[in-house]
Structure 1
Amino acid sequence: MAHLPLKALQAFRLAAEANSFKEAAEQLHVTQAAISQQIKSLEQHLGLKLFKRLTREVELTAEGRQLLPYVSQGFSSLETGMAQLMDDPNPSRLTLSTLPSFASRWLVAKLGEFQQEAPDLSIQLTVGDRLERFEGEELDIAVRFGRGDYPGLNTELLLKDYLIPACHPSLINSDSPVVEQIGSLPWLQDDTPELVDLWSEFAKTLNQEAPRLQVTDSGTLIEALLGAQGMAFVRFSLVYNLLERGILISPIQSHWKTLYDYYLVMPEHHKKRPKVKRFEAWLRKEVREIESSWERFQKRK
């Protein structure tokens, strides 16, 4: 059909479900005569009768009973689609935000796998240290490294993390005691508060007063480690795959729980968005790889 009389179909649906033109009129806030006219026009459009007009009620004809489930299903689908659109203006695009270090050292390499699982979604990734408030933004979800105290937002723990000492394997001579060697190695550090405090404590056992190199980003620190520029405390989540492959090593049996952990952050009503549910389920599945690697790391130590 070139034209669907939606108003008449809606009137038919409500009248059929209630067996009453009057109740349909009340639901649509129109007169009973208006409903009767809409039904009449639909019957003329189809060229058949849909209702038997009785004294105090109406009753569907065989043709009306045949048509009703299709009309009901059609309007139900429309209502579902409209509801999703009103809650999510971009249901086919997932916009997420996270830290530069987590994005560059882990997430970006994994996103291709998610896109294979969800080819109907396009992904927009923003990176930065700013704590999003989701005010006037199209952001769907954020992965944050903190204490989980984000007022007004739904916050759920994603992954716990640990600090470990790490360096390039070329800096350690397996024929000499490791403890004697690390005191003479150049030490590197990023300027996050917990690493500054940890260095202050650890430096008491070393013959160094300050790190050789200080940077402002964990990703840059790891690049320095890969360049064999020294030794540093790093988050396990950012180097676990490098440790597994022997590209970096952790030469001493020490680790410290980080002050912060990874959290999924979003407004409460974003949780019911289908695309957010899909991404969260995928992300939780993927971080199990890091958790399993941590278990193996502890056994090796």
Structure 2
Amino acid sequence: MNTPRHRPLSIGPLRAFEAVARRLSFSGAAEELFLTQSAVSRQIRALEEELGTTLFQRGTRHVALTADGQLLQSTVAPLLERLDGTVRQMRQTRGRRVVNVTTFASFASLWLIPRLEAFQRDHPDMDIRVSAHDQLVDLEDSEIDIALRYCPPRGVPPTAQRLFGEVLTPVVSPWMAGQAASGQAPPLSTAADLRHHTLAEEDDQRPSGLFLSWRRWLAERGLPDLQPRRWMYLNFTYQQVQAAVSGQAVALARLPLVAEALQRGELAEPFGETGRMSAPTVYWLMLSRQGRARAEVMEFAQWILEQAAGTRSAIGEGEPPKAAPFSGD
């Protein structure tokens, strides 16, 4: 039999606590929760008795959190936010299937979103929610079903599925390539010609940024001290690609993310395949535990793997090592 100190906490007192802690007002919390102030006070007292600690310092004109109150708030606030988010999603999408995906912004913009129209045309009853940012989300402590990430092999769990590796290649707009070839613009036929052009560089000071940099590319071609006409520093990969498409700069693009743009003639490789350079980072698909238990998530994940096979073919990469798809927890 559970003792009072070991039984699960009720949601009502926790909601009352979160509202008082956020507003530092019993009357404000009561108004928000549509309760009387005395009802809120009773719920807080009951919670304090159950926990065996004081959560608020109560004064005549003020309320303040104790150290234990601050500790509880740091846990309760995000939990209630997640709970409310899940409930809102259930109410808004009742009867529909939803897959929640997290990835970084450039991958979403350049690789995932351009493909989604075809998937959703074939799956009109399935909604895909994409959360695109550079912050890593704990898959086992979130609403996320699928993560599409970018890191070295040593940084992924054994259940991760490899999508494709990384290859860097200089790219320009076809207009710029044509102007250079016709002599109407500075030449762009050898690496040394880059001294006449603007180079778009990712503004990434992390050590891993070295593998994606023009400095590494130039050093591998015996030109470590080459200075371009100017540098254009940008935060995200997709911004560098936009600079190249618009004819403003030569970008060192991630080939898996621009392979289709090259095929469509929206970009050109001035040095061809000889200008390509590999990197140790890899694109991965990861599934959360709850995602592996849902048919719609597995269906979308399988579609991602099929799309990745096309990208591997476009960049000249073979099949990844065989693995049991999405096995294990």
TM range (shorter): 0.5 to 0.7
Once residues 150 and 140 of structure 1 are traced to their aligned partners in structure 2, the CA distance between those partners, rounded to angstroms, is: 19
Q: TM-score, normalised by structure 2?
A: 0.57
Q: 1:185 aligns with which of 183, 197, 200?
A: 197
Within-5 A mapping of 1:112-127 = 112-127=117-132
Q: Residues 177 and 189 of structure 1: is their aligned pair in 2 closer, same or farther, counting only changes over 3 Å? A: closer
* Cα shift at 1:211: 5.6
What is the RMSD of the two structures over their aligned residues, measured on CA atoms?
2.8
Q: TM-score, normalised by structure 1?
A: 0.61
Task: Calculate percent identity across the aligned residue pairs.
Answer: 23
| Aligned residue number for residue 229 of structure 1 | 248
Q: Residues 211 and 163 of structure 1: is their aligned pair in 2 closer, same or farther, counting only changes over 3 Å? A: farther
Unmatched runs of 5 consecutive residues or more in structure 1? 1-88, 297-301
CA contact (8 A) 2:176 2:247 kept: yes
Report which stretch shifted further, 104-113 or 210-219: 210-219
Q: Residues 210 and 148 of structure 1: is their aligned pair in 2 closer, same or farther, counting only changes over 3 Å? A: farther
| Aligned residue number for residue 271 of structure 1 | 292
Once residues 174 and 220 of structure 2 are traced to their aligned partners in structure 1, the CA distance between those partners, rounded to angstroms, is: 21
| Aligned residue number for residue 255 of structure 1 | 276
> 3-state SS of the aligned residue for 1:178?
coil
* Cα shift at 1:182: 2.8
* Cα shift at 1:270: 2.9
Q: Deviations over 1:184-225 (max 9, x none)?
A: 111111134122352562585263179611111001111111
| Aligned residue number for residue 72 of structure 2 | none
Once residues 233 and 280 of structure 1 are traced to their aligned partners in structure 2, the CA distance between those partners, rounded to angstroms, is: 29
Once residues 275 and 125 of structure 1 are traced to their aligned partners in structure 2, the CA distance between those partners, rounded to angstroms, is: 15
Report which stretch shifted further, 192-201 or 103-112: 192-201
| Aligned residue number for residue 307 of structure 2 | 286
CA contact (8 A) 2:217 2:277 kept: no
Is 1:216 matched up with 2:235?
A: yes
CA contact (8 A) 1:160 1:262 kept: yes
Is 1:156 matched up with 2:161?
A: yes
Find the structure with the greater CA-based Rg: 1
Once residues 142 and 239 of structure 1 are traced to their aligned partners in structure 2, the CA distance between those partners, rounded to angstroms, is: 21
Q: Counterpart amino acid of 2:212?
A: L
Once residues 277 and 293 of structure 2 are traced to their aligned partners in structure 1, the CA distance between those partners, rounded to angstroms, is: 36
> 3-state SS of the aligned residue for 1:212?
strand
Within-5 A mapping of 1:161-176 = 161-172=166-177, 173-175=180-182
Once residues 94 and 244 of structure 1 are traced to their aligned partners in structure 2, the CA distance between those partners, rounded to angstroms, is: 30
Once residues 155 and 232 of structure 1 are traced to their aligned partners in structure 2, the CA distance between those partners, rounded to angstroms, is: 30
Q: 1:147 aligns with which of 138, 149, 152?
A: 152
| Aligned residue number for residue 261 of structure 2 | 242
> 3-state SS of the aligned residue for 2:120?
helix
> 3-state SS of the aligned residue for 2:196?
coil
Once residues 246 and 218 of structure 2 are traced to their aligned partners in structure 1, the CA distance between those partners, rounded to angstroms, is: 24
Q: Deviations over 1:50-95 (max 9, x none)?
A: xxxxxxxxxxxxxxxxxxxxxxxxxxxxxxxxxxxxxxx8982111
Q: 2:116 aligns with which of 102, 111, 114?
A: 111
CA contact (8 A) 1:162 1:255 kept: yes
CA contact (8 A) 1:101 1:218 kept: yes
CA contact (8 A) 2:198 2:228 kept: no
Once residues 100 and 152 of structure 1 are traced to their aligned partners in structure 2, the CA distance between those partners, rounded to angstroms, is: 22
> 3-state SS of the aligned residue for 1:259?
strand
> 3-state SS of the aligned residue for 1:207?
coil
Once residues 284 and 107 of structure 1 are traced to their aligned partners in structure 2, the CA distance between those partners, rounded to angstroms, is: 12
- Alignment size in residue pairs: 208
Once residues 313 and 217 of structure 2 are traced to their aligned partners in structure 1, the CA distance between those partners, rounded to angstroms, is: 27
Once residues 117 and 172 of structure 2 are traced to their aligned partners in structure 1, the CA distance between those partners, rounded to angstroms, is: 29
Unmatched runs of 5 consecutive residues or more in structure 2? 1-89, 318-329
Q: Counterpart amino acid of 1:227?
A: S
> 3-state SS of the aligned residue for 2:109?
helix
Q: Residues 201 and 278 of structure 1: is their aligned pair in 2 closer, same or farther, counting only changes over 3 Å? A: same
> 3-state SS of the aligned residue for 1:228?
coil
